[in-house]
Structure 1
Amino acid sequence: MEPDRLVYPLLKHVLMGPVMRAAFLPRVRGLAHVPRIGPVILAANHLAFLDSFVLPLMVPRRVHFLGKHEYFTGTDMKGRAVATLFRGLGAIAVDRSGGRAALDALDTSAAVLERGGVFAIHPEGTRSPDGRLYRGRTGVARLAMRTGAPVVPVAIGGTDRLQPRGRAVPRPGRIELTIGAPMDFQGRDDGIPRGKAAREVTDEIMDAIQRLSGQEYVDDYAPRPAED
Protein backbone atom coordinates (compact mmCIF):
# COMPACT_ATOMS: atom_id res chain seq x y z
CA MET A 1 0.00 0.00 0.00
CA GLU A 2 1.32 3.49 -0.89
CA PRO A 3 2.41 5.69 2.04
CA ASP A 4 -0.22 8.36 1.24
CA ARG A 5 -2.99 5.75 1.43
CA LEU A 6 -1.79 4.90 4.93
CA VAL A 7 -1.72 8.58 5.93
CA TYR A 8 -5.22 9.28 4.57
CA PRO A 9 -7.31 7.35 7.15
CA LEU A 10 -5.11 8.69 9.96
CA LEU A 11 -5.69 12.30 8.83
CA LYS A 12 -9.38 11.90 8.11
CA HIS A 13 -10.56 9.79 11.02
CA VAL A 14 -8.03 10.43 13.79
CA LEU A 15 -6.32 13.79 13.35
CA MET A 16 -7.74 16.47 11.05
CA GLY A 17 -11.29 15.19 10.67
CA PRO A 18 -12.20 15.35 14.38
CA VAL A 19 -10.32 18.65 14.81
CA MET A 20 -12.16 20.22 11.87
CA ARG A 21 -15.52 19.09 13.21
CA ALA A 22 -14.74 20.53 16.63
CA ALA A 23 -13.38 23.84 15.31
CA PHE A 24 -15.76 24.50 12.44
CA LEU A 25 -19.01 22.75 13.48
CA PRO A 26 -19.68 21.77 9.84
CA ARG A 27 -23.28 21.59 8.68
CA VAL A 28 -23.38 19.23 5.71
CA ARG A 29 -26.45 18.81 3.53
CA GLY A 30 -26.96 16.48 0.58
CA LEU A 31 -24.27 13.85 1.20
CA ALA A 32 -26.64 11.29 -0.31
CA HIS A 33 -26.08 12.99 -3.68
CA VAL A 34 -22.46 11.76 -3.77
CA PRO A 35 -22.45 8.34 -5.50
CA ARG A 36 -21.12 5.60 -3.24
CA ILE A 37 -19.10 4.03 -6.05
CA GLY A 38 -17.83 5.01 -9.48
CA PRO A 39 -16.29 8.16 -10.89
CA VAL A 40 -17.65 11.54 -9.87
CA ILE A 41 -16.55 15.16 -10.21
CA LEU A 42 -17.21 17.45 -7.25
CA ALA A 43 -17.45 21.02 -8.60
CA ALA A 44 -17.34 23.59 -5.80
CA ASN A 45 -17.11 27.32 -5.33
CA HIS A 46 -13.86 28.63 -3.88
CA LEU A 47 -13.76 31.14 -1.03
CA ALA A 48 -10.62 30.36 0.98
CA PHE A 49 -7.53 28.15 1.14
CA LEU A 50 -9.40 26.14 3.79
CA ASP A 51 -11.72 24.83 1.04
CA SER A 52 -8.99 22.44 -0.08
CA PHE A 53 -9.43 20.53 3.19
CA VAL A 54 -13.21 20.76 3.53
CA LEU A 55 -14.16 18.36 0.74
CA PRO A 56 -11.57 15.63 1.42
CA LEU A 57 -12.43 15.58 5.12
CA MET A 58 -16.22 15.95 4.93
CA VAL A 59 -17.10 13.69 1.97
CA PRO A 60 -17.24 9.97 2.87
CA ARG A 61 -15.16 8.90 -0.15
CA ARG A 62 -11.49 9.52 -0.84
CA VAL A 63 -11.29 12.76 -2.78
CA HIS A 64 -8.46 13.76 -5.11
CA PHE A 65 -7.63 17.30 -6.20
CA LEU A 66 -4.81 19.17 -7.90
CA GLY A 67 -2.22 20.97 -5.79
CA LYS A 68 0.49 23.37 -6.81
CA HIS A 69 3.79 21.64 -7.53
CA GLU A 70 5.45 23.91 -4.95
CA TYR A 71 3.51 22.23 -2.12
CA PHE A 72 5.37 18.99 -2.81
CA THR A 73 8.94 20.15 -3.32
CA GLY A 74 10.02 21.47 0.08
CA THR A 75 13.16 19.80 1.41
CA ASP A 76 13.19 21.05 5.01
CA MET A 77 11.06 19.57 7.80
CA LYS A 78 8.15 21.95 7.17
CA GLY A 79 8.24 21.31 3.42
CA ARG A 80 8.20 17.55 3.87
CA ALA A 81 5.34 17.82 6.37
CA VAL A 82 3.29 19.91 3.94
CA ALA A 83 3.93 17.45 1.12
CA THR A 84 2.90 14.51 3.32
CA LEU A 85 -0.26 16.35 4.38
CA PHE A 86 -1.33 17.17 0.84
CA ARG A 87 -0.56 13.70 -0.52
CA GLY A 88 -2.37 12.14 2.41
CA LEU A 89 -5.47 14.19 1.70
CA GLY A 90 -5.50 13.15 -1.95
CA ALA A 91 -3.72 16.07 -3.61
CA ILE A 92 -1.88 15.44 -6.88
CA ALA A 93 1.03 17.70 -7.79
CA VAL A 94 0.67 19.68 -11.01
CA ASP A 95 3.10 22.14 -12.56
CA ARG A 96 1.13 25.17 -13.74
CA SER A 97 4.05 26.98 -15.35
CA GLY A 98 4.47 25.36 -18.77
CA GLY A 99 2.46 25.70 -21.95
CA ARG A 100 1.12 22.16 -21.55
CA ALA A 101 0.00 22.80 -17.97
CA ALA A 102 -3.73 22.81 -18.75
CA LEU A 103 -3.52 19.62 -20.83
CA ASP A 104 -1.40 17.87 -18.21
CA ALA A 105 -3.88 18.83 -15.50
CA LEU A 106 -6.76 17.52 -17.60
CA ASP A 107 -4.96 14.22 -18.23
CA THR A 108 -4.13 13.83 -14.53
CA SER A 109 -7.72 14.53 -13.49
CA ALA A 110 -9.12 12.17 -16.11
CA ALA A 111 -6.85 9.38 -14.87
CA VAL A 112 -8.41 9.61 -11.39
CA LEU A 113 -11.91 9.32 -12.85
CA GLU A 114 -11.00 6.52 -15.21
CA ARG A 115 -9.94 4.53 -12.14
CA GLY A 116 -13.41 5.10 -10.67
CA GLY A 117 -12.29 7.79 -8.23
CA VAL A 118 -13.59 11.11 -6.97
CA PHE A 119 -12.05 14.31 -8.26
CA ALA A 120 -12.74 17.76 -6.79
CA ILE A 121 -12.34 20.95 -8.76
CA HIS A 122 -13.01 24.66 -8.29
CA PRO A 123 -14.25 25.82 -11.72
CA GLU A 124 -13.52 29.47 -10.87
CA GLY A 125 -9.84 28.57 -10.99
CA THR A 126 -8.92 30.71 -8.00
CA ARG A 127 -10.40 32.00 -4.76
CA SER A 128 -13.12 34.61 -5.00
CA PRO A 129 -11.69 38.02 -4.03
CA ASP A 130 -14.97 39.30 -2.59
CA GLY A 131 -17.28 36.41 -1.79
CA ARG A 132 -19.13 36.50 -5.11
CA LEU A 133 -19.26 33.58 -7.54
CA TYR A 134 -17.24 34.16 -10.71
CA ARG A 135 -17.44 32.71 -14.20
CA GLY A 136 -16.27 29.12 -14.43
CA ARG A 137 -13.39 27.96 -16.58
CA THR A 138 -14.24 25.18 -18.98
CA GLY A 139 -11.87 22.49 -17.67
CA VAL A 140 -14.64 20.97 -15.55
CA ALA A 141 -16.89 20.56 -18.60
CA ARG A 142 -14.13 19.11 -20.76
CA LEU A 143 -13.35 16.62 -18.00
CA ALA A 144 -17.00 15.59 -17.66
CA MET A 145 -17.52 15.16 -21.39
CA ARG A 146 -14.22 13.30 -21.83
CA THR A 147 -14.79 10.78 -19.02
CA GLY A 148 -18.59 10.61 -18.78
CA ALA A 149 -18.35 11.13 -15.03
CA PRO A 150 -21.32 12.89 -13.42
CA VAL A 151 -20.76 16.34 -11.95
CA VAL A 152 -22.00 16.99 -8.43
CA PRO A 153 -22.31 20.73 -7.66
CA VAL A 154 -21.15 21.80 -4.20
CA ALA A 155 -21.54 25.07 -2.31
CA ILE A 156 -19.06 25.81 0.47
CA GLY A 157 -20.06 28.55 2.87
CA GLY A 158 -18.36 30.41 5.71
CA THR A 159 -14.73 29.64 4.96
CA ASP A 160 -14.05 33.18 3.72
CA ARG A 161 -15.15 34.59 7.10
CA LEU A 162 -12.95 32.17 8.99
CA GLN A 163 -9.92 32.54 6.73
CA PRO A 164 -9.91 35.81 4.79
CA ARG A 165 -7.05 36.46 2.39
CA GLY A 166 -3.77 36.92 4.22
CA ARG A 167 -4.79 34.84 7.25
CA ALA A 168 -2.71 31.67 7.51
CA VAL A 169 -4.61 29.96 10.33
CA PRO A 170 -8.42 30.00 10.17
CA ARG A 171 -10.37 31.10 13.22
CA PRO A 172 -13.01 28.79 14.72
CA GLY A 173 -16.58 29.14 13.47
CA ARG A 174 -19.26 27.36 11.47
CA ILE A 175 -18.83 26.23 7.88
CA GLU A 176 -21.51 24.82 5.61
CA LEU A 177 -21.39 22.34 2.78
CA THR A 178 -24.40 21.95 0.49
CA ILE A 179 -24.29 19.21 -2.13
CA GLY A 180 -26.61 19.13 -5.12
CA ALA A 181 -27.91 16.37 -7.35
CA PRO A 182 -25.54 14.80 -9.94
CA MET A 183 -25.54 16.32 -13.42
CA ASP A 184 -24.97 14.12 -16.50
CA PHE A 185 -23.25 15.67 -19.52
CA GLN A 186 -22.45 12.58 -21.59
CA GLY A 187 -22.83 13.28 -25.31
CA ARG A 188 -23.29 17.03 -24.89
CA ASP A 189 -20.59 17.69 -27.48
CA ASP A 190 -22.17 15.41 -30.10
CA GLY A 191 -22.61 17.34 -33.33
CA ILE A 192 -21.50 20.72 -31.97
CA PRO A 193 -18.05 22.26 -31.49
CA ARG A 194 -16.34 21.04 -28.33
CA GLY A 195 -15.56 24.61 -27.24
CA LYS A 196 -19.20 25.72 -27.48
CA ALA A 197 -20.39 22.64 -25.61
CA ALA A 198 -17.77 23.17 -22.90
CA ARG A 199 -18.90 26.75 -22.35
CA GLU A 200 -22.57 25.78 -22.15
CA VAL A 201 -21.92 22.91 -19.75
CA THR A 202 -19.68 25.03 -17.53
CA ASP A 203 -22.35 27.74 -17.32
CA GLU A 204 -24.92 25.13 -16.28
CA ILE A 205 -22.61 23.86 -13.55
CA MET A 206 -21.97 27.38 -12.25
CA ASP A 207 -25.70 28.07 -12.26
CA ALA A 208 -26.24 24.95 -10.12
CA ILE A 209 -23.52 26.05 -7.68
CA GLN A 210 -25.03 29.54 -7.49
CA ARG A 211 -28.47 28.16 -6.65
CA LEU A 212 -26.95 26.16 -3.79
CA SER A 213 -24.71 28.93 -2.44
CA GLY A 214 -26.92 31.98 -2.99
CA GLN A 215 -23.85 33.98 -4.04
CA GLU A 216 -24.09 36.94 -6.38
CA TYR A 217 -22.84 35.83 -9.79
CA VAL A 218 -20.23 37.74 -11.78
CA ASP A 219 -20.04 36.92 -15.49
CA ASP A 220 -16.30 37.46 -15.60
CA TYR A 221 -13.25 35.46 -14.54
CA ALA A 222 -11.98 36.04 -11.01
CA PRO A 223 -8.63 37.84 -10.95
CA ARG A 224 -5.80 35.49 -10.01
CA PRO A 225 -3.61 36.92 -7.24
CA ALA A 226 0.15 36.63 -7.52
CA GLU A 227 0.39 34.09 -4.69
CA ASP A 228 -2.42 31.81 -5.93
Structure 2
Amino acid sequence: MQPHNLFSLLADRLLLHPNSFTVASYNVLFEILVERVSAATVEKRSSEITAEWKIENSAMIKVIATILRTITDNIHLYDIKLRFLDDLILLSSASRENRRIILQMSVWQDYLLGLAYVYPTSDLQTEVTNRVFELLRILLHHAIKYEYGGWRVWIDTLSILHGRVTREDYYRKINKMVENMKDNDENEPKTPVSSPVESGAQTPTDQNSVATPT
Protein backbone atom coordinates (compact mmCIF):
# COMPACT_ATOMS: atom_id res chain seq x y z
CA MET A 1 0.00 0.00 0.00
CA GLN A 2 1.31 3.43 -0.94
CA PRO A 3 1.89 5.92 1.91
CA HIS A 4 -0.69 8.33 0.44
CA ASN A 5 -3.37 5.61 0.47
CA LEU A 6 -2.36 4.61 3.98
CA PHE A 7 -2.79 8.16 5.26
CA SER A 8 -6.18 8.49 3.54
CA LEU A 9 -7.27 5.25 5.18
CA LEU A 10 -6.09 6.62 8.52
CA ALA A 11 -8.37 9.66 8.13
CA ASP A 12 -11.33 7.46 7.19
CA ARG A 13 -10.85 5.25 10.22
CA LEU A 14 -10.49 8.15 12.64
CA LEU A 15 -13.67 9.76 11.30
CA LEU A 16 -15.61 6.65 12.28
CA HIS A 17 -15.24 7.86 15.88
CA PRO A 18 -15.20 11.67 15.59
CA ASN A 19 -15.96 12.28 19.27
CA SER A 20 -12.80 10.41 20.25
CA PHE A 21 -10.46 12.80 18.42
CA THR A 22 -8.60 14.67 21.14
CA VAL A 23 -5.50 16.82 21.51
CA ALA A 24 -3.52 13.66 22.24
CA SER A 25 -4.79 12.15 18.98
CA TYR A 26 -3.71 15.26 17.11
CA ASN A 27 -0.25 15.17 18.70
CA VAL A 28 0.25 11.62 17.42
CA LEU A 29 -0.64 12.70 13.87
CA PHE A 30 1.64 15.71 14.15
CA GLU A 31 4.51 13.49 15.26
CA ILE A 32 4.00 11.44 12.10
CA LEU A 33 3.98 14.66 10.08
CA VAL A 34 7.45 15.65 11.29
CA GLU A 35 8.68 12.11 12.09
CA ARG A 36 9.45 12.90 15.71
CA VAL A 37 7.54 10.13 17.41
CA SER A 38 7.64 10.00 21.20
CA ALA A 39 7.19 6.95 23.37
CA ALA A 40 4.18 8.29 25.25
CA THR A 41 0.88 9.80 24.13
CA VAL A 42 0.71 13.23 25.72
CA GLU A 43 -1.56 16.26 25.65
CA LYS A 44 1.35 18.70 25.50
CA ARG A 45 4.65 18.35 23.68
CA SER A 46 7.79 18.70 25.76
CA SER A 47 9.89 20.26 22.98
CA GLU A 48 9.26 23.42 20.99
CA ILE A 49 9.34 23.63 17.21
CA THR A 50 12.68 24.89 15.89
CA ALA A 51 14.37 25.31 12.51
CA GLU A 52 15.48 21.67 12.67
CA TRP A 53 11.91 20.43 12.50
CA LYS A 54 11.05 19.37 8.95
CA ILE A 55 7.82 18.31 7.31
CA GLU A 56 8.53 14.70 6.37
CA ASN A 57 5.05 13.39 5.52
CA SER A 58 3.16 16.30 3.99
CA ALA A 59 0.10 14.12 3.32
CA MET A 60 -0.60 14.27 7.06
CA ILE A 61 -1.54 17.94 6.64
CA LYS A 62 -4.43 16.85 4.43
CA VAL A 63 -5.37 14.09 6.88
CA ILE A 64 -5.49 16.43 9.88
CA ALA A 65 -7.28 19.19 7.97
CA THR A 66 -9.87 16.73 6.64
CA ILE A 67 -10.62 15.45 10.12
CA LEU A 68 -10.93 18.96 11.57
CA ARG A 69 -13.18 20.08 8.72
CA THR A 70 -15.50 17.09 9.03
CA ILE A 71 -16.05 16.92 12.79
CA THR A 72 -18.85 19.09 14.16
CA ASP A 73 -17.55 22.23 15.85
CA ASN A 74 -17.18 22.23 19.62
CA ILE A 75 -15.02 23.96 22.20
CA HIS A 76 -12.38 21.20 22.12
CA LEU A 77 -12.21 21.19 18.33
CA TYR A 78 -11.49 24.92 18.27
CA ASP A 79 -8.52 24.29 20.54
CA ILE A 80 -7.17 21.57 18.23
CA LYS A 81 -7.66 23.78 15.17
CA LEU A 82 -5.73 26.61 16.79
CA ARG A 83 -2.95 24.26 17.83
CA PHE A 84 -2.69 22.78 14.34
CA LEU A 85 -2.56 26.21 12.70
CA ASP A 86 -0.03 27.48 15.25
CA ASP A 87 2.17 24.46 14.55
CA LEU A 88 2.02 25.05 10.80
CA ILE A 89 2.82 28.73 11.30
CA LEU A 90 5.85 27.82 13.42
CA LEU A 91 7.02 25.21 10.92
CA SER A 92 6.60 27.65 8.03
CA SER A 93 8.31 30.50 9.86
CA ALA A 94 11.24 28.35 10.94
CA SER A 95 12.20 26.85 7.59
CA ARG A 96 12.06 27.87 3.94
CA GLU A 97 12.00 24.21 2.99
CA ASN A 98 8.84 23.65 5.03
CA ARG A 99 7.14 26.50 3.20
CA ARG A 100 8.18 25.04 -0.13
CA ILE A 101 6.84 21.60 0.82
CA ILE A 102 3.41 23.01 1.67
CA LEU A 103 3.31 25.08 -1.52
CA GLN A 104 4.04 21.96 -3.57
CA MET A 105 0.98 20.17 -2.20
CA SER A 106 -2.03 19.91 -4.50
CA VAL A 107 -4.79 22.43 -3.62
CA TRP A 108 -3.26 23.08 -0.22
CA GLN A 109 -5.28 26.30 -0.08
CA ASP A 110 -8.50 24.30 -0.02
CA TYR A 111 -7.38 22.38 3.07
CA LEU A 112 -6.47 25.55 4.96
CA LEU A 113 -9.42 27.70 3.87
CA GLY A 114 -11.71 24.83 4.83
CA LEU A 115 -10.71 25.47 8.44
CA ALA A 116 -11.66 29.15 8.27
CA TYR A 117 -15.12 30.67 8.62
CA VAL A 118 -16.51 33.00 5.97
CA TYR A 119 -18.93 34.53 8.47
CA PRO A 120 -17.58 33.77 11.96
CA THR A 121 -20.18 33.90 14.71
CA SER A 122 -17.92 33.73 17.77
CA ASP A 123 -14.57 34.95 19.01
CA LEU A 124 -13.08 31.48 18.66
CA GLN A 125 -14.17 31.21 15.04
CA THR A 126 -12.67 34.64 14.36
CA GLU A 127 -9.42 33.56 16.01
CA VAL A 128 -9.23 30.41 13.89
CA THR A 129 -9.90 32.41 10.72
CA ASN A 130 -7.19 34.93 11.61
CA ARG A 131 -4.70 32.09 12.07
CA VAL A 132 -5.58 30.69 8.65
CA PHE A 133 -4.93 34.01 6.94
CA GLU A 134 -1.72 34.50 8.91
CA LEU A 135 -0.47 31.19 7.51
CA LEU A 136 -1.64 32.18 4.02
CA ARG A 137 0.29 35.43 4.32
CA ILE A 138 3.52 33.58 5.17
CA LEU A 139 3.14 31.08 2.34
CA LEU A 140 2.08 33.58 -0.32
CA HIS A 141 4.91 35.94 0.61
CA HIS A 142 7.36 33.08 0.13
CA ALA A 143 5.76 32.09 -3.18
CA ILE A 144 5.96 35.55 -4.72
CA LYS A 145 9.47 36.23 -3.40
CA TYR A 146 11.31 32.94 -3.85
CA GLU A 147 9.41 30.64 -6.20
CA TYR A 148 9.46 30.85 -9.99
CA GLY A 149 5.95 31.66 -11.20
CA GLY A 150 4.84 32.34 -7.66
CA TRP A 151 2.20 34.75 -8.90
CA ARG A 152 0.22 31.72 -10.09
CA VAL A 153 -0.11 30.64 -6.47
CA TRP A 154 -1.76 33.98 -5.71
CA ILE A 155 -4.20 33.51 -8.61
CA ASP A 156 -5.08 29.98 -7.49
CA THR A 157 -5.55 31.12 -3.90
CA LEU A 158 -7.85 33.98 -4.88
CA SER A 159 -9.85 31.64 -7.10
CA ILE A 160 -10.31 29.07 -4.32
CA LEU A 161 -11.17 31.80 -1.81
CA HIS A 162 -13.71 33.33 -4.19
CA GLY A 163 -15.29 29.93 -4.74
CA ARG A 164 -15.51 29.32 -1.01
CA VAL A 165 -17.21 32.68 -0.34
CA THR A 166 -19.58 32.26 -3.30
CA ARG A 167 -20.58 28.78 -2.15
CA GLU A 168 -21.20 29.99 1.39
CA ASP A 169 -23.33 32.89 0.13
CA TYR A 170 -25.34 30.48 -2.02
CA TYR A 171 -26.00 28.13 0.89
CA ARG A 172 -27.06 31.03 3.11
CA LYS A 173 -29.40 32.31 0.39
CA ILE A 174 -31.00 28.88 -0.07
CA ASN A 175 -31.42 28.42 3.69
CA LYS A 176 -33.05 31.85 3.91
CA MET A 177 -35.47 30.97 1.12
CA VAL A 178 -36.41 27.71 2.85
CA GLU A 179 -37.01 29.54 6.14
CA ASN A 180 -39.22 32.11 4.40
CA MET A 181 -41.23 29.34 2.74
CA LYS A 182 -41.79 27.67 6.11
CA ASP A 183 -42.87 30.97 7.66
CA ASN A 184 -45.31 31.61 4.81
CA ASP A 185 -46.79 28.14 5.19
CA GLU A 186 -47.29 28.68 8.92
CA ASN A 187 -48.88 32.12 8.49
CA GLU A 188 -51.13 31.17 5.59
CA PRO A 189 -54.80 30.85 6.74
CA LYS A 190 -56.10 27.35 6.43
CA THR A 191 -59.38 26.77 4.54
CA PRO A 192 -61.81 24.60 6.53
CA VAL A 193 -62.63 21.37 4.80
CA SER A 194 -66.20 20.05 5.10
CA SER A 195 -66.45 16.51 6.32
CA PRO A 196 -67.84 14.02 3.79
CA VAL A 197 -71.28 12.48 4.33
CA GLU A 198 -70.97 9.11 5.94
CA SER A 199 -72.19 6.13 4.01
CA GLY A 200 -75.76 5.17 4.91
CA ALA A 201 -76.59 8.45 6.65
CA GLN A 202 -80.09 9.80 6.16
CA THR A 203 -80.35 13.14 4.37
CA PRO A 204 -83.01 15.56 5.58
CA THR A 205 -86.16 15.75 3.40
CA ASP A 206 -89.48 17.46 3.68
CA GLN A 207 -92.23 15.90 5.70
CA ASN A 208 -94.06 14.57 2.63
CA SER A 209 -92.63 11.21 1.90
CA VAL A 210 -92.26 10.15 -1.67
CA ALA A 211 -94.01 6.95 -2.55
CA THR A 212 -92.05 4.52 -4.53
CA PRO A 213 -94.07 3.08 -7.41
CA THR A 214 -94.43 -0.67 -7.41
Give TM-score, length-normalised by structure 1. 0.29
For CA contacts below 8 A with separation 6 or more, give which structure has more relative contact order: 1
The structure carrying a bigger strand percent of its residues is 1
Greater radius of gyration (CA) = 2
Give TM-score, length-normalised by structure 2. 0.31
